[in-house]
Amino acid sequence: MTQLENELKALKSGLIQMWDLAYSQLEKAQLSLINFDQGLAREVMQKEKRVNGYELKIDTDCENIFALYTPVAVDLRFVLAVLKINYNLERIGDYAEGIARYVITLKVPFNKDILAKTQLTAMLDSTIGMVRESKQAFEKEDVVLARSLFQKDETLDIINRYAGKILNTFVENDTHNFHEALYVHSIIQKLERVGDQITNIAEEIIFYLEARVLKHKKEK
């Protein structure tokens, strides 16, 4: 195995660790919200620095590979994909932290009925599943699985689109629900953006494996 191959293997391993951390952050944010566990929410916020540290290390590793080995063809595409996927995973960590902040700010547990009606709980399950499946697609070099994530993101977009109307009714029935409705809507928007990050990751996986650029294109 050449030195470049060793470096690429280590880079892949580091990105997988970053993926696991982002996944853990989002999963813990979900549990803290559903169980109103403010201690767990604080743990998510504290670990955000660790996510940022991983991102910086992987960025540096990519830059070193560019500088020392000048990779070409599939190796070049791999490093470029890792660089962009790393950024998207860091953003997912940011959104997980944002959800945790709302859990800490709210003084009472979220209304279970409104979580169900807005499909926020289903959205959390879906986004966590998408993070897991995107990692599987990367590890197994599975473009079919990567492409399946585009349709799942469309479902998140639909939930986000209709959440506002449901929350308006929630507030109209009792104006005391205003702040909770605002937090729920903000969380739904964050989860919709997690879906966007996952589709970006899927595009990078396809770019790496097929040398196809999907950015700014709508794949059917």
Range of the domain at 110: 3-210
- Over the stretch 47-64, which tens digit does the pLDDT of each residue have? 999 999 999 999 999 999
Q: Is it the case that residue 217 has pLDDT exceeding 90?
A: no
The count of domains in the chain is 1
Percent over 70 (pLDDT), the chain: 97
Q: Is residue 185 assigned to a domain?
A: yes
Between CA 14 and CA 82 the distance in angstroms is: 10
Q: Do the domain assignments include residue 103? A: yes
Whether 101 is in a domain gets the answer yes
Instruction: Give the dihedral sign, CA 123/58/219/141.
Output: negative
Q: Quote the strand ranges of the chain, DSSP E.
A: none
Q: Which of 130-139, 167-176, 208-217 has the lowest mean pLDDT?
A: 208-217
Placement of tokens 């799942």 in the chain: 152
Mean pLDDT within 127-138: 98
* Residue 59 within a domain: yes
What share of the chain in percent tops pLDDT 90?
Answer: 87
Residue 218 lies in a domain: no
Chain mean pLDDT for the chain: 94
Q: How distant is the alpha carbon of residue 33 from its chain centre?
A: 17
Distances (CA, A) of 150 to 145, 174, 200: 10, 37, 9
CATH of residue 82's domain is: 1.20.58.220
- Rounded to whole angstroms, the Cα distance separating 65 from 4 reads 8
CB-count burial class (<10 Å; 0-12, 13-18, 19+) for 122: middle
Q: What is the pTM of this model?
A: 0.93
If one counts every other C-beta atom within 10 angstroms of the C-beta of residue 109, the result is: 14
Residue with tokens 């670990």: 47
Confidence band, pLDDT 50/70/90 cuts, at residue 128: very high
In a domain, 205, yes or no: yes
Which pLDDT value is given to residue 177?
82
What is the rounded distance in angstroms from the CA atom of residue 51 to the CA atom of residue 164?
31
Following CA atoms 186, 31, 101, 52 in sequence, which dihedral angle do they give, to the nearest 10 degrees? Answer: -100
pLDDT at 216 over 80: no
Please state the rounded mean pLDDT for residues 68-76: 95
pLDDT, position 215: 67
Q: What is the DSSP letter of 141?
A: T
The predicted model gives 18-33 an average pLDDT of: 97
Q: Categorize the per-residue pLDDT at 189 as very low, low, confident or very high, splitting at 50, 70 and 90.
A: very high
Q: What is the pLDDT of residue 34?
A: 95
Q: Say if residue 220's pLDDT is above 90.
A: no
Q: Is residue 219 included in any domain, yes or no?
A: no
- Domain assignment present for 216: no
State the pLDDT at residue 172: 87
